[in-house]
């Protein structure tokens, strides 16, 4: 092998390593985002947690 072929092979290996590192980082970010969504969905549901006082109470419709 000549020097140019060795240099091209080395650069290709470096590019592949960089691509693998980026892919691993993106996959970790996706897993973290999905974990956050799951934690949000698993939180206890409180239907009146974000409502103002007096909203969502019982309504007396007896006549």
| Residue 45 confidence (pLDDT) | 66
* 17, 8 contact by CB (below 8 A): no
* 40, 33 contact by CB (below 8 A): no
Taking the whole predicted model, whether its pTM rises above 0.75 is answered as no
CA distances from 36 to 24, 32, 39 (A): 18, 6, 5
| Residue 41 confidence (pLDDT) | 87
User: Average pLDDT of 1-8?
Assistant: 92
Domain edges within the chain: 1-42
Residue, of 59 and 8, whose pLDDT is higher: 8
| Residue 32 confidence (pLDDT) | 95
> Within 1-63, where are the H helices?
3-42
pLDDT per position as a tens digit, 10-33: 999 999 999 999 999 999 999 999
Which residues, at least 6 apart from 1, have a Cβ–Cβ distance to it below 8 Å? 9
């Amino acid at each position: 092998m000549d020097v140019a072929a060795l240099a091209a092979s080395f650069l290709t290996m470096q590019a592949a390593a960089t691509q693998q590192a980026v892919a691993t980082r993106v996959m970790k970010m996706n897993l973290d985002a999905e974990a956050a969504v799951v934690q949000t969905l698993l939180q206890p549901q409180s239907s009146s947690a974000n409502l103002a006082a007096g909203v969502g109470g019982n309504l007396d419709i007896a006549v």
